[in-house]
């Protein structure tokens, strides 16, 4: 029997045939939802082989390595309760963790609160850029809900929609987009002027189509101002929620887009790297989630003209939805994304 | 680094990443570009043993950044910008702030 896990992290034993059946079902689910091509029989067998290897930790063959980018980079150490400064954390990532890229991030990982402390963040970026060699991102979340009342200036669409005030809810989101674009451009400009190589918009579209539109507009403005700025647009989910429902970018309706469609708009906006996300279903097995995630990501890679980095972490990219992602699943998902999904990075 | 990462400055991961970020190169193209500039094979790029020697020879920083006379941090990025024929933002900022570079 093969010991693997469910999407909630619990162990489950399956026969090889059951593993294969679950991988196939996951692939079929992605094909049906995304209207994309399925994996080939060889690719499905490769995923089954990765799932069924007896080792706890698996890895890619020599030559199949890819690039790793990070979200909320410095926070990963801060959350562990280790009280060291951001430049030192970046030095650890570079020299101890073998990170391909670095990402500096403030503990309130959203653009709205960061705009108040941009000078302090510029200081951290400038100091870090002197003592590190690897490329340096600054990262934060667009986080559109922070612009809604009572915490922000705009009426709360989540309260207006249940009251049947559709037009008002849409107007409130459109107003929030304007505030968010200004903050994203302001913060990103500040950290780039201080010496970062680029900006990472993390968990884009967590609040749906309005947040995706805001991020694409901010990306467009930043590339017009700083053509050499590297911009990574990392998504929050596989499917853009139509919380507004009518918003577009470059004539394309944003609600309902899947990764292979999202990446085309990221390209048009000028993004350098697109971060594809596929959510983990905690009620299904790891093989099911792996088949599904790799199918979506492979379609995105094939549609893209820019590098695609799949999100592989807590609750995304087939990794179980737990605070301590198990290395058996993380290493298998990483290997599958590199060798079957043909990702440019993770 | 984990299961699939290139390894950053331990290998050539930072250099390949720079080509993705600066020129939007896909993984294969970025690896081939860097290998060509470093005069190594693509398969050497993620090898710690070979790349440690290559990075020492080119003086573009290794993980042992505090030892000896090798370039580190911004010093290595000056060399990387020249080696890969890239504009690196922090390098240009350094030049401007030290008065060594004037726009236009």
What are the residues whose beta carbons fall under 8 Å from the beta carbon of A191, sequence distance 6 or more?
A: A104, A118, A121, A122, A125, A138, A199
Closest CA to B70 of B85, B52, B83, B87: B52
Instruction: Calculate mean pLDDT across residues A128-141.
Output: 98
Q: Would you tell me which residues 17-36 of chain A have a C-beta closer than 8 angstroms to some C-beta of chain B?
A: none
- Please report the ipTM that was assigned to this predicted complex: 0.97
* Confidence band, pLDDT 50/70/90 cuts, at residue B103: low
Least confident of A286-295, A310-319, B61-70, B84-93: B61-70
Q: For A194-202, what is the mean pLDDT? A: 98
8 Å CB contact of A133 and B90: no
In a domain, residue B14? The reply is: yes
How would you classify the pairing of strands A248-249 and A198-204? unpaired
Q: For B26-49, what is each residue's pLDDT tens digit?
A: 999 999 999 999 999 999 999 999
Average pLDDT over residues A262-266: 98
For the segment A97-110, what is each residue's pLDDT rounded down to a tens digit?
999 999 999 999 99
A337 within 8 A of B4, measured Cβ to Cβ: yes
Report the C-alpha gap between A135 and A97 in whole angstroms.
14
- B102 — pLDDT class (breaks 50, 70, 90): low
Environment class of A153 (CB within 10 Å of its CB; exposed 0-12, middle 13-18, buried 19+): exposed
How distant, in Å, are the alpha carbons of A82, A240, A336 from that of A288? 36, 22, 13
Residue B15 lies in a domain: yes
Q: Is residue B51 part of a domain?
A: yes
Q: Kindly tell me if the per-residue pLDDT of A36 is higher than 80.
A: yes
Is residue A196 over pLDDT 70? yes
What pLDDT shows up at residue B56? 95
Residue B72 to residue A195, Cβ atoms within 8 A = no
Please provide the distance, in angstroms rounded to a whole number, between the alpha carbons at the two ends of chain B: 41
Residue A198 C-alpha, separation from nearest chain B C-alpha, in angstroms: 8
The pLDDT mean for chain A works out to: 97
CA separation (Å) from A147 to A111, A144, A167, A169?
Answer: 11, 6, 18, 13
Mean pLDDT of A213-231: 98
Per-residue HEC secondary structure of A291-307 comes to HHHHHHHHHHHHHCCCC
Degrees to nearest 5, angle at CA B12 with B6 and B13: 40
Tell which B residues from 27 to 86 touch A, by Cβ distance under 8 Å. 27, 30, 42-43, 45-46, 60-61, 63-65, 72-74, 76-77, 80
Tell me the fold of A2-339: TIM Barrel (3.20.20)
Q: Kindly list the domain boundaries of chain A, sorted by start residue.
A: 2-339
Residue B63: closest CA among A74, A91, A128: A91
Among A67, A196, A337, whose Cβ lies nearest the Cβ of B16?
A: A67
Residue B101: predicted pLDDT:
72
SS3 state at B31 = helix
Residue A214's pLDDT band (boundaries 50, 70, 90)?
very high
> Can you tell me the distance from the alpha carbon of B33 to that of B27, in angstroms, rounded to the nearest whole number?
10
Residue B2 lies inside a defined structural domain of this protein: no
User: Which residues make beta-bridge pairs with A234?
Assistant: A275
Per-residue model confidence (pLDDT) at position B68? 83
CA distance B21 to A91: 20
Say if residue A301's pLDDT is above 80: yes
Average pLDDT over residues A227-238: 97
**Would you say the C-alpha torsion A223, A225, A228, A231 has a positive or negative sign?**
negative
pLDDT > 70 in chain B, percent: 95
Token digits for A149? 């009342």
* Mean predicted confidence (pLDDT) in A19-29: 98
Spatial distance between the Cα atoms of A264 and A285, rounded to a whole number of angstroms: 31
Mean pLDDT value of segment A260-266: 98
CA distances from B74 to A50, A126, B37, B89, B96 (A): 41, 11, 20, 11, 14
Residue B103 lies in a domain: no
Structure tokens at A125: 């970026």
> Tokens representing A217?
């507009």
**Residue A188: which residues within 8 A CB-CB, separation 6 or more?**
A138, A199, A218, A222, A229
**B104 part of a folded domain:** no
At A132 the pLDDT is 97
Please provide residue A279's backbone torsions phi and psi, each rounded to the nearest 5 degrees: -75, 145
Percent of chain A at pLDDT exceeding 70: 100
Full residue range of the structural domain in which residue B23 is found:
8-97
pLDDT at B65 (0 to 100): 78
Number of independent structural domains in chain B: 1
Determine, for residues B89 and A228 on separate chains, whether the beta-carbon distance falls below 8 Å: yes
Q: Which pLDDT does position A332 carry in this prediction?
A: 98
- Closest residue to B13, CB basis, from A67, A195, A335: A67
Q: Does A155 touch chain B (CB under 8 A)?
A: no
Is residue B83, in this structure, part of any structural domain at all? yes
- Check residue A123 and give its pLDDT: 97
pLDDT band for position B1 (50/70/90)? low
Min Cα distance A172 → chain B (Å) is 35
């Amino acid at each position: 029997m093969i010991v693997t896990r469910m999407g909630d992290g619990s162990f489950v034993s399956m026969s090889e045939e059951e593993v294969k059946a679950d991988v196939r079902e996951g692939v079929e689910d992605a094909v049906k939802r995304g209207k994309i091509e399925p994996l080939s029989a060889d690719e499905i067998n490769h995923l089954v082989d990765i799932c069924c290897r007896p080792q706890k930790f698996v890895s890619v063959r020599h030559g199949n390595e890819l690039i790793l980018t990070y979200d909320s980079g410095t926070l990963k150490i801060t959350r562990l309760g280790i009280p060291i400064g951001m430049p030192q954390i970046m030095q650890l990532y570079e020299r101890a963790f073998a990170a391909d890229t670095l990402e500096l991030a403030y503990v309130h990982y959203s653009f709205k609160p960061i705009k108040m402390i941009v000078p302090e963040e510029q200081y951290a970026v400038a100091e870090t850029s002197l003592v590190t060699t690897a490329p340096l991102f600054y990262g934060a979340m667009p986080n559109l809900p922070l612009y809604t009342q009572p915490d922000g200036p705009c009426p709360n669409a989540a309260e207006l929609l249940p009251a049947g005030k559709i037009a008002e809810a849409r107007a409130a989101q459109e107003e929030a987009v304007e505030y968010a674009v200004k903050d994203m451009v302001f913060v990103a400009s500040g950290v780039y002027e201080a010496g970062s190589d680029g900006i990472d918009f993390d968990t884009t579209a967590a609040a749906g189509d309005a947040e995706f539109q805001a991020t694409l507009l901010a990306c467009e403005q930043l590339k017009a101002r700083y053509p050499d700025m590297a911009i990574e647009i990392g998504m929050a989910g596989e499917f853009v929620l139509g919380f507004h429902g009518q918003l577009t970018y470059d004539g394309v309706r944003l609600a309902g887009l899947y990764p292979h469609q999202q990446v085309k708009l990221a390209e048009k906006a000028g993004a350098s790297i697109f971060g594809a996300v596929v959510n983990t279903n905690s009620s299904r097995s790891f093989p099911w989630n792996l088949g599904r995630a790799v199918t979506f990501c492979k379609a995105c890679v094939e549609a893209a003209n820019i590098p695609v980095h799949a999100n592989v972490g807590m609750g995304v990219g087939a990794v179980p939805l737990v605070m301590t992602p198990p290395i058996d699943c993380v290493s298998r998902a990483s290997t599958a994304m590199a060798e079957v999904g043909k990702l440019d990075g993770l | 680094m984990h299961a699939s990462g290139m390894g950053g400055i331990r290998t050539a991961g930072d250099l390949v990443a720079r080509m993705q970020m600066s020129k939007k190169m896909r993984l294969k193209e970025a690896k081939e570009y860097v290998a060509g500039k470093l005069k190594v094979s693509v398969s050497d790029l993620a090898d710690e043993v070979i790349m440690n020697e290559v990075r020492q020879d080119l003086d573009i920083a290794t993980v042992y950044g505090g030892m000896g006379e090798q370039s580190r941090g911004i010093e290595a990025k000056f060399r990387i910008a020249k080696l890969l024929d890239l504009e690196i933002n922090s390098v240009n900022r350094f030049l401007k702030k030290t008065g060594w570079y004037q726009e236009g």
